[in-house]
Structure 1
């Protein structure tokens, strides 16, 4: 597995935001993060607290399978 550079991560992150939110809302999202104090570690602690390990596992498997299907189709 190749380790990505910070530039690659920024590019792919912005690309994902634009794909999901559109350009304007992606920029608004970044602006919100810049303005507010955002504790990623604290946010991460609570992100999936309602999920069980089984539901997280099933979601991961589904995403993996979808990714593999896209890879083989493209």
Structure 2
């Protein structure tokens, strides 16, 4: 089982690998601002959605 710190580090690595540094920073900023229910958003993610579509949906929230 990974520690919380390891999970956070892995999250950043995965986001950077798939989105690039700039978009990763934008995504993190988006989920940290304003009223946003990250848990509800995760529950509504379609398993067949592409990473690009997922990124776009996060930006529009």
TM-score (norm: length of structure 1): 0.55
Q: How many residues align?
A: 48
- Give 2:59's aligned residue: none
Q: Which runs of 5+ in 2 are unaligned?
A: 49-61
- Give 1:4's aligned residue: 2
Deviations 1:22-69 (A, max 9, x none): 001101100011113221332233223xx7xxx8xxxxxxxxxxxxxx
Give structure 1 regions of 4+ aligned residues with deviation exceeding 4 angstroms.
none
Of structures 1 and 2, the one with the larger relative CO (CA 8 A, separation 6+) is: 2
Q: Which has the higher helix share?
A: 1
- Give 1:28's aligned residue: 26
Which entry has the higher C-alpha Rg, 1 or 2?
1
TM-score (norm: length of structure 2): 0.65
Q: Which runs of 5+ in 1 are unaligned?
A: 56-74
SS at match of 2:44: helix
